[in-house]
A and B are shown apart, each in its own frame.
Chain A
Amino acid sequence: MLFTFSRRTLLLSTTTVLAFGLISPAAQADIPDTDYQPVLAHLLGTVMPPKLDEFHDATKELTAEFKDFCNDPDAGGLEDTQSAFHAAMDIWQEIQPWRMGPLVANGRDQHIEYWPDKHGTAARQFRKLMFDKPSAYTDPEKLSGASAALQGFPALEEVLFAGDHGDQMIAADEDGVFLCQYGTAIATNLGTLSGELQDEWPAFATAMENAGPDSMDYPTAKFAATDLYRALHEGLLIISSQKLARPLGDSAEDARAGRAESPLAERSLRNIEHNLIGLFAIYDGKWGEVGEEGKGLADLIDNSLLDRSFRLNWQTVEDTFAELPPSVAEVLEQSDGYATLSDFKGQIDFLTMLVENDVGGNTQLGGGFNALDGD
């Protein structure tokens, strides 16, 4: 597997070197600021809003399923609620890498999903919560002012997937009733948060699209577009340095699936699959049925060979990914699981390098003298 990756890396690198060699960023004239405006309008004004609607709808569906389940708890209802959790989580994971504006305002991304939880805060607080069963945590409004660790997807995952919580909710015993009420409050709170995202996005998008010298926030369209480039770049870095590096640890002996994202719902790699969908939309401009191919950052790359090379490399990662199970735990259980996961991390790192060199260089969004090499 490692050999396979090395060989693939070499091939990909060669492609990139060939493509890159044909057009050095240094030889490029400055891209006019007007070229960045349609990219901003497309990604922020056309592509993202329907996805936020989708997320909001998914959280409302999750709330409805939770309420139905808790009104008449049974195994089928639990399964439906878990499915609704997965559906909401899928679209959240696609939106998550667009870390800008309303997504990060008021700690919103952390309230939606508090992860990584480096100090085990959520588990500690959850244990205390189950011991005390405070009624405030069954009230969505009061819950929204509680610790971020207890009000988003990871807390809901604990309710729906941990240990015997499902059985307790079906049995409707004291713990089960509290879990049901608490879970419904979390789902409702997620609906509120996703609604806030929907509401706040248009003003943010307009400010970005109207970038100009009088704006103290976005003096040029290029500067505004830098936030999109950074989202693409940092999204890949986060997949590698947190979502994969944390469970991998320092060695095969040190690897722990429990350090992965969403370990109880067994969907740590499924999360990455959806991250990659949202990230590629920034480059491509098409996100599922929304948007149009080539109208993302790719629109700024005046080099069809480089564009094809980048798409090919991205597809190679997706093909590798398609062969993996949905969770880190399942991969690590395989005899060559550690090497497989390390190989995949290497591919993500390679994509990151391509984004830095090829996309950052050719879109001229990769950062300036001080940003790239300050002290």
Chain B
Amino acid sequence: MEYQRRTFLKLLGVGGAVTLLPVGLARAGTTPSPEDRAVYISASAGDDGTYYVSAFNASGKILFEQPLPGRGHDIGLRPNHVDVAAVERRPGLYGLILDRHTGDVRAKLHCPEDRRFYGHAIYSNDGRYLYITENDFDHARGVVSVWDAEDGYRRVAEFDSFGTGPHELHLMPGGDHLVIANGGLHTHPDQDGRTPLNISSMEPNLSIIDRRTGKLVHQAALKHDWHKLSIRHLDVAANGTIAAGFQYQGDLTDQVPLVGLWQPGSDIRPIEAPDTVQYRMRQYCGSVRFDASGQVFGISCPRGGLVTFWDANTQDFLTHIAAPDGCGLAATDRAGEFVGTSGLGNGWRMDAIRRKRVELPDDSLKSQHWDNHLRRIIA
């Protein structure tokens, strides 16, 4: 493991020890860097059952809290625009378009009666179209809806996701294709909308579709023995490598991979951590994020209270850092560095290369329970 880390440092051209300081201290008196201007945004919850989209700065100071009608999940960022999209977690009915600086509501999206939002949304690179994963629950079919941001967020199209229970989706490099994690789980609002109804027959997959036509371009699934690995979250590196995190629906003691790498056109390559870490991942990955270099990716495991870090080039496990109830992950502008948030109210700056964790200094962050996903914006 030590060898791996040393090799990795060399690859990145990083030599001596670098102290991981809170951003305000590390950069005091210097020209504001991108990280000084960074804003982190996430769904959150208060102690009293209220839900928000909240934003904080690099020190952890809360910038705004916008109440939501129900629990949010991920935030979609409109490129070169103030809009961000907060879509209710599954089985969601609302979507709100908010001003990223103030949290003010700029538009509202309503899910059709026979669909339910699944918490994730992504914009096209030109910012015109918003894509949202949805459940066509009467047909146990996943769909991706298309909303025109330049036409008052009118719902203009709907594509097949080519699987059941679509969850996170991302644009592929170039912006023409969408990759979708079809978790494989069928749920129905009549049965609370969250309880899986098809575990014995679930068939998760990763699908890539043309975002303009909805045509299937690539698809891959894990081998049948692992069909209970719900493929839920993913991120895409600039070179097109897709990292995915799984959530296992089988037994606690089953030995299954929880992380996969996919180069479209080939098979999904499962990768595992050493046993003691793999076990502590508790069969559940919460969020996936590539770092600024595109070589390291982090996968949070809130049930095990840790964030795992991996090298996409060598396809090796790098290290892990304890993060009680940690789930949200966003990459900073430094290679190997992430900001993470927890449901207990913590925010950390984490360095995967030097295995360091520093708590964000501003305590206002602790007033919220931070939800699954975290996004970073440069203000």
Contact = CB atoms under 8 A, between A and B. Distances in A.
Given A370-B302, A374-B372, A104 B324 contact: no
A100 B279 CA distance: 8
Given A107-B275, A370-B327, A375 B322 contact: no
A100 B282 CA distance: 11
Nearest to A226: B305
B324 A219 contact: yes
A206 B371 CA distance: 33
Nearest to B119: A375
A368 B372 contact: no
A305 B321 CA distance: 38
A241 interface: yes
B343 A371 contact: yes
B276 interface: yes
Interface stretch (A186-194, A210-218, A252-260): A210-218
A81 interface: no
B303 A104 contact: no
Question: Contact size class for A?
Answer: 20 to 34
Interface in B322-379: 322, 324-327, 342-344, 355-357, 359, 369-372
B357 A216 contact: yes
B371 A104 contact: no
B41 to A, nearest CB: 17
Interface string A102-120: 0011111010000010000
B302 A106 contact: no
Nearest to A118: B254
Given A216-B322, A371-B325, A237 B275 contact: no
Interface in B230-269: 232, 251-253, 255
B343 A368 contact: yes
The SS class assigned to the A binding surface is: helix
A238 interface: yes
Given A104-B279, A241-B251, A374-B327, A368 B302 contact: yes
B286 A105 contact: no
Give the one of B90, B119, B167, B372 with max A CB within 10 A.
Answer: B372
Contact of B252 (A105, A234, A368): A234
Contacts of A230: 282
Contacts of A100: 279
Nearest to A223: B324
A371 B252 contact: no
A320 B328 CA distance: 45
B322 A370 contact: no
A86 interface: no
A215 B357 CA distance: 9
Contacts of B322: 215-219, 223
A46 interface: no
A118 to B, nearest CB: 8
A195 interface: no
Contact of A369 (B251, B274, B282, B325): B325
Contacts of A106: 275
A223 B344 CA distance: 12
A16 interface: no
Given A216-B355, A370-B327, A223 B251 contact: no
A101 B276 contact: yes
Question: Contact size class for B?
Answer: 35 or more
A215 B324 CA distance: 13
B62 interface: no
A225 B274 CA distance: 22
B303 A371 contact: yes
Interface in A197-246: 213, 215-220, 222-223, 226, 230, 234, 237-238, 241-242
A194 B356 CA distance: 34
Contacts of A165: none
A230 B276 CA distance: 15
A367 interface: yes
B284 interface: yes
Contacts of B344: 368-369
Interface in A236-280: 237-238, 241-242
Contacts of B355: 216
A99 interface: yes
A28 B369 CA distance: 18
A148 B253 CA distance: 14
Contacts of A215: 322
Contact of A104 (B119, B275, B342): B275
Interface of A: 99-101, 104-108, 110, 116, 213, 215-220, 222-223, 226, 230, 234, 237-238, 241-242, 367-371, 374-375
Given A226-B305, A238-B252, A368-B302, 6 more contacts: A104-B275, A213-B359, A216-B356, A237-B252, A367-B325, A375-B372
Interface of B: 45, 73, 89-90, 119, 167, 232, 251-253, 255, 274-276, 279, 282, 284, 286, 302-303, 305, 319-322, 324-327, 342-344, 355-357, 359, 369-372
**Top 6 A-B pairs ranked by shortest CB distance?**
A369-B343, A368-B325, A370-B302, A370-B343, A370-B327, A368-B343
30 contacts: A104-B275, A105-B274, A107-B255, A108-B275, A110-B255, A213-B359, A215-B322, A216-B319, A216-B320, A216-B321, A219-B322, A219-B357, A367-B325, A368-B302, A369-B45, A369-B369, A369-B371, A370-B302, A370-B325, A370-B343, A370-B370, A370-B371, A370-B372, A371-B302, A371-B325, A371-B343, A374-B286, A374-B327, A375-B119, A375-B167
